[in-house]
Chain A
């Protein structure tokens, strides 16, 4: 099976190598193939915009981080890679959106995180300026990743190659043991069951 590994990184859209789940991988892959940034061409059926203020819009992350009670995304409407070209009014509008979300979801506390600088140094998946409002559900810490060790980046890419194989129809039942372990806990329910069976059947 031939795999187009050049898909793994699109310097202006995002990095498939950083996708945490198969579902997320497939969504981003589709966008990259169309040449669309997922935050410029937001799929509002899947990510209904809760509020837009100024040049920003806010929606619930459909792929929330572990231990999140609320995980909201705020992204600029235009394709900005970093904070460099934004006007002071942009940050006032950003603040208004945060205050609205805090009120709307009655958020007693949590965190807000935004990556900056070169995507090769900040572990971002989507190359479009955005922030996360993260509210822990009190079952554990919520974490925002700001950097990855090169060996971890390599592992993530290996995982993306397996996601690509599955996307192209490669049967789970034929995955090698090392491949199974790399994608464990990262598949939708029906596929996860098949993966579990595959792991049990491994010698």
Chain B
């Protein structure tokens, strides 16, 4: 199946990590929806909305990464795909949301990460292109010997080289 047939323009099927995720993503692809746009979110996203702000919707990742204790998502309210399109005031709201939730959950430490953008060669590791931020506390006890928990920025494994 070609890349075009394997994706809609809002998602990247190559980055699916789990079988239960695949089923939902196939439906999203078929319907040609952006799953993170507010009008579609409730249809595909089954985790509770923790908070809704002017710029962001805070929720949990429906398909959390392996070896994480907590993984929250803040989904941008408007459909944007690049950091350059973000409102000036959005960063402050994002950090406030994450700070409050991290405190509530007694999160000890971890990272905040956002992937953004696309190029003619693919995207930068985001399954859904609609801008979303991750708040992650890795589960240190679940890590194997000599293992570190890393957030990846990059394109699919088989992306083209120059």
Residues of A at the B interface (CB closer than 8 Å) are 67, 83-84, 86, 88-92, 94-96, 98-99, 102-103, 107-123, 134, 136, 138-152, 155
Shortest C-beta distance, B67 to chain A (Å), equals: 9
Cβ contacts B74-102/A at 8 Å (1 or 0 each) = 00000000111010111110110011001
Say yes or no: B153 contacts A138, CB within 8 Å. no
Say yes or no: B109 contacts A116, CB within 8 Å. yes
Q: Which residue of B lies closest to A84 (CB)?
A: B99
Say yes or no: B117 contacts A115, CB within 8 Å. no
Find chain A residues with CB under 8 A from B99 CB: 83-84
Pairs A-B, 4 closest by C-beta atoms: A109-B117, A117-B109, A121-B109, A141-B154
Say yes or no: A138 contacts B151, CB within 8 Å. no
Find chain B residues with CB under 8 A from A95 CB: 86, 88, 90-91
Q: Which residue of B lies closest to A153 (CB)?
A: B148
Known: A95-B91, A144-B113. A109 touches B84 (CB 8 A): no
Cβ contacts B96-123/A at 8 Å (1 or 0 each) = 0011001000011111111111110101
Residues of B at the A interface (CB closer than 8 Å) are 82-84, 86, 88-92, 94-95, 98-99, 102, 107-119, 121, 123-125, 135-138, 140, 143-155, 159-162
Say yes or no: B125 contacts A111, CB within 8 Å. yes
Known: A146-B136, A151-B145. A121 touches B82 (CB 8 A): no
**Docked pose: A98 CA to B151 CA in angstroms:** 19
Select which of B137, B153, B161 is within 8 A of A144 by beta carbon: B153
